Amino acid sequence: QVQLVESGGGLVQAGGSLRLSCAASGRTFSSYVMGWFRQAPGKEREFVAGISRGGASTYYADSVKGRFTISRDNAKNTVFLQMNSLSPEDTAVYYCAARSGRYVPASADEYDYWGQGTQVTVSS
């Protein structure tokens, strides 16, 4: 079992940056693949980025490639999402998720644990 707590959301102007953090409980954080998802009002939850257990492999949705960076610090049980060049289309609740194993899926259904989410609002 792992518990996830996101932080770092807020209101930012278009073109600005935010850094989200997701702190995980437990001593086996490095055994989990981690992902960031987002959900805008009236839309389905969508994959944003994923990272392998050791952090060597990262994956991104096309909509955020070149603007967002996922990273993790296994010593601190934390995964990050650095978001640059934000646009109003990035406005959503952002969730981190954890999954046991090596595979980094883009489907929300394949993740076992979820945080409560953090709101990101980008004004134009």
Tens of pLDDT along the chain (124 residues) come to: 899 999 999 999 999 999 999 999 977 999 999 999 999 999 999 999 999 999 999 999 999 999 999 999 999 999 999 999 999 999 999 999 999 989 999 999 999 999 999 999 999 9
Vertex 40: Cα angle to 14 and 2 (nearest 5):
105
Dihedral angle over CA of 77, 107, 112, 117, nearest 10: 60
d(CA 49, CA 64): 8
CA angle 58, 110, 48 (to 5 degrees): 40
State residue 26's pLDDT score: 79
d(CA 42, CA 28): 35
pLDDT for 115 equals 98
For residues 58 and 68, what is the distance between their CA atoms, to the nearest angstrom?
11
